[in-house]
């Protein structure tokens, strides 16, 4: 994206919004951060308020080229005694469904045609959080059918970053969570940037839903014939030197990861995830040596 553009990020003070702000402002784009909290990034233009109160931010839409809708209560907020806080079904519905409708309606009124909607693979889980994200995609369908709009709904796996100390005490704890099936924040940031680029360079009235998963050393053939040579044999094919490390940290080497198909995401956006189990194991080895755990620097800049 070489021509400067203006973005509005709902929920822009969170992890993804802050990472996007860093990348977009580094490319001379303007970024409005719509959130009840002050933005984490100093170059964000704050719109302190809720998506449920359009009167506090609607006028800013006149300058906006692309809206990235991130604001939501997430699956972690549905867990009893969640470290991030537990929300009721009514709160989930109000923010995730009513809030999405109000934001999209305001975009329609302002003539904004381009929206990246951050949905979730939790739609496939059958829980209430996933249900509210499904409703968000249905709202996107409605606005595309009734207005000249193009919306890309990205369905990432969970992507809480390791440095979120509200949720994870340390990198090793985060690694055990990630091993069970997740995607790295840097890859979600890459996919979102690519979606923004696509919207700015293509004119088409439609709603597309695209899955966002991480990178894998394992091939589809590996997954189809997992451990045919014995327990841990597929893991050792790629990560033999990390077997003791994985077992010390209770990473299950015998169960195949649940890899999600992403052909449409790769074809339409050119998305190429970079954070894999192999990268995680390298970083976990560094962590075990007492080295400072770096935040990966391979977020793609467009």
Position 296 confidence tier, pLDDT thresholds 50, 70, 90 = low
What is the pLDDT, as a whole number, of residue 93?
Answer: 96
pTM for the structure as a whole: 0.94
| SS3 state at 102 | helix
- pLDDT tens-place string over residues 91-140: 999 999 999 999 999 999 999 999 999 999 999 998 999 999 999 999 99
| SS3 state at 155 | strand
What is the pLDDT, as a whole number, of residue 28?
Answer: 94
What is the pLDDT, as a whole number, of residue 75?
Answer: 84
Position 301 confidence tier, pLDDT thresholds 50, 70, 90 = very low
* Lowest-pLDDT range of 17-26, 80-89, 109-118, 269-278: 80-89
**In which residue are the tokens 């894999």 written?**
276
Report the distance separating Cα 273 and Cα 269, nearest Å.
12
Residues 64-82, mean pLDDT to the nearest whole number: 91
Pick the closest to residue 291 from 282, 300, 299 (CA basis). 282
Report the distance separating Cα 13 and Cα 36, nearest Å.
8
Strand order in the sheet with 150-156: 45-48, 30-35, 6-10, 66-69, 114-118, 150-156, 206-212
Pick the closest to residue 302 from 272, 280, 267 (CA basis). 272
Q: Is the pLDDT of residue 302 over 50?
A: no
Say which DSSP state 110 is in.
Answer: H
For 224-242, give the DSSP string. HTTTTTSTTHHHHHHHGGG
Q: Is the pLDDT of residue 294 over 80?
A: no
What is the pLDDT, as a whole number, of residue 300?
Answer: 42
Q: Which domains does the chain have, with CATH numbers?
A: 6-212 (3.40.50.720), 219-256 (no CATH)
Pick the closest to residue 47 from 26, 23, 21 (CA basis). 21
- pLDDT tens-place string over residues 229-251: 999 999 999 999 999 999 999 99
26 by Cβ neighbours in 10 Å (0-12 / 13-18 / 19+) ranks as: exposed
């Amino acid at each position: 994206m070489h021509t400067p553009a203006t973005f509005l990020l709902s929920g822009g003070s969170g992890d993804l919004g802050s990472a996007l702000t860093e990348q977009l402002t580094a490319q001379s784009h303007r970024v409005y951060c719509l959130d009840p909290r002050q933005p984490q990034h100093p170059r964000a233009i704050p719109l302190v308020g809720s998506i449920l109160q359009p009167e506090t931010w609607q006028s800013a839409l006149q300058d906006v080229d692309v809206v990235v809708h991130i604001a939501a209560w997430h699956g972690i907020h549905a867990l009893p005694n969640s470290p991030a806080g537990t929300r009721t079904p009514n709160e989930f519905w109000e923010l995730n469904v009513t809030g999405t409708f109000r934001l999209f309606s305001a975009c329609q009124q302002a003539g904004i045609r381009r929206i990246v909607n951050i949905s979730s693979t939790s739609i496939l889980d059958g829980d209430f959080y996933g249900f509210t994200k499904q409703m968000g995609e249905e709202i996107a369908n409605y606005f595309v059918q009734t207005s000249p709009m193009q919306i890309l709904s990205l369905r990432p796996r969970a992507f809480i970053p390791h440095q979120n100390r509200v949720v994870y005490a340390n990198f090793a704890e985060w690694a055990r969570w990630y091993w069970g099936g997740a995607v790295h924040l840097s890859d979600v940031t890459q996919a979102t940037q690519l979606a923004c680029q696509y919207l700015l360079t293509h004119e088409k009235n439609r709603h597309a839903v695209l899955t966002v998963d991480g990178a894998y050393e394992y091939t589809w053939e590996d997954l189809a014939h997992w451990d045919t040579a014995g327990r841990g044999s597929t893991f050792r094919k790629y990560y033999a030197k990390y077997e003791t490390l994985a077992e010390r940290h209770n990473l299950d080497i015998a169960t195949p990861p649940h890899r999600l198909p992403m052909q449409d995401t790769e074809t339409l956006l050119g998305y190429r995830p970079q954070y894999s189990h192999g990268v995680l194991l390298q970083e976990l080895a560094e962590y075990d040596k007492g080295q400072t755990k770096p935040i990966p620097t391979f977020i793609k800049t467009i």
